[in-house]
């Protein structure tokens, strides 16, 4: 695709475009805001903008996603969410697995363990938005940054908190 795709710094996570199999992501290329359309792992198109202008981004998506009868209102809701994420600043890189493995696991209910991965207990501030948070939070309530991993105690693989059974080893998790 575009040669600028290599310089893309993500400011939002990829978000699905309703009524299509495409995803959109907002970021920056140099000093310009960029919106890229992704299908699978392939970047199909990327547009640059002087400012975070929702109307221009909606028009860019409709123009490049050639799907008849796509709902512009649903696209506008997705674009609003992308802009809110982008206004918080660039996404941080995930924590290194070795650092998370070296920290002590804190047992939660049943067979779920939580390993601090992004914010330390002494910091008490979200690493992304820098707002104050409690040390035992799993997600930042302001910007949704993931603050901890959810690990199965039996196999030590990362799982979702709402799982009732580990999909990797079959251990029954806390209720």
Contact 140, 133 (CB under 8 A): yes
* CA 28 to chain CA mean position, Å: 16
Q: Which residues contact 168 (CB under 8 A, 6 or more apart)?
A: 152, 155, 157, 159
- Rounded Cα distance, 132 and 88, in Å: 15
Query: Long-range contacts: 50-54, Cβ < 8 Å, 24+?
Result: 52/26, 52/83, 52/86, 52/87, 54/79, 54/80, 54/83
d(CA 61, CA 42): 16
Domain ranges of the chain: 3-87, 93-175
Cβ-in-10-Å burial (0-12, 13-18, 19+) of 148 comes to buried
For residue range 124-174, list pLDDT tens digits in order: 888 888 888 888 888 888 887 888 888 888 898 888 877 888 888 988 887
User: What is the structure's pLDDT at 88?
Assistant: 85
Q: What pLDDT shows up at residue 25?
A: 92
Confidence of residue 175 (pLDDT cuts 50, 70, 90): low
Report yes or no on whether pTM surpasses 0.85. Answer: no
**Mind listing the pLDDT tens digit for each residue in 75-130?**
899 999 999 888 888 876 544 343 333 333 434 444 455 444 444 444 688 888 88
Q: What is the pLDDT of residues 58-71, one digit of tens each?
A: 999 988 887 888 88
Those residues whose C-beta lies under 8 Å from the C-beta of residue 88, and which sit 6 or more positions away, are 11, 128, 129, 143
What is the enclosing helix (H) or strand (E) of 35?
Answer: strand 32-39
Would the pLDDT of 49 be above 80? yes
């Amino acid at each position: 695709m575009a040669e600028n795709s290599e310089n893309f710094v993500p400011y939002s996570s990829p978000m699905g475009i309703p009524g299509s199999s495409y995803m959109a992501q907002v970021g920056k290329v140099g000093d310009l805001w960029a919106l890229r359309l992704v299908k699978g792992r392939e970047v199909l198109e990327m547009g640059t903008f002087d400012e975070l202008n929702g109307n221009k981004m909606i028009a860019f998506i409709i123009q490049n996603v050639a799907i008849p009868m796509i709902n512009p209102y649903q696209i506008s809701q997705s674009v609003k969410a992308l802009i809110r994420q982008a206004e918080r600043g660039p996404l941080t890189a995930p924590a290194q697995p070795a650092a998370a493995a070296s920290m002590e696991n804190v047992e939660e209910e049943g067979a779920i363990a939580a390993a601090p991965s992004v914010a330390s207990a002494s910091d008490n501030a979200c690493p992304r938005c820098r707002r104050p948070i409690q040390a035992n939070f799993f997600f930042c309530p302001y910007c949704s940054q993931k603050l901890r991993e959810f690990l199965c105690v039996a196999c030590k693989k990362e799982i979702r908190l709402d799982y009732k059974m580990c999909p990797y080893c079959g251990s029954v998790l806390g209720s």
